[in-house]
Structure 1
């Protein structure tokens, strides 16, 4: 990532907004999802050494990286299932009922 020039970073920014973790890193054969998994592996290795009890905090991110489905994907699916009706969407996202 450090070797990306400004134009490549802009391209990645636009691609990430449109394709999420499926966005391809310019000049690479990798996607953002693949990079996310690498970063989670690095973070997990550090936590295993220094705070193994905190590994659980990486699990939600690991699920997202492994599935390639973000919270935005889930929200879009919910929006389509409810035909965009705000009430059911708000109810489904409420933390307490």
Structure 2
């Protein structure tokens, strides 16, 4: 049995066109509280993202045989970190 109608795209359930057409009227500003110096003083600028690492990692490319990769992957999640720690501890000083 074949369907005779095409499935419609899922809807967000909102009328974005109506929202875009709305023009703010002066009376709507009465709903907003007066901005005071006290309110501004409580404001905090929050920079998003992670803090900078003291010793950031650098992306490189390295070729390893498939059996080496599979042995490290078999150790479970975090295998790349464990590999980096092992290489770091055995590196010449």
TM-score (norm. length: structure 1)? 0.20
Could you state the TM-score of these two structures normalised by the residue count of structure 2? 0.20
Name the larger-Rg structure: 2
Report which structure shows greater RCO (CA 8 Å, sep ≥6): 1
Structure holding more helix per residue = 1
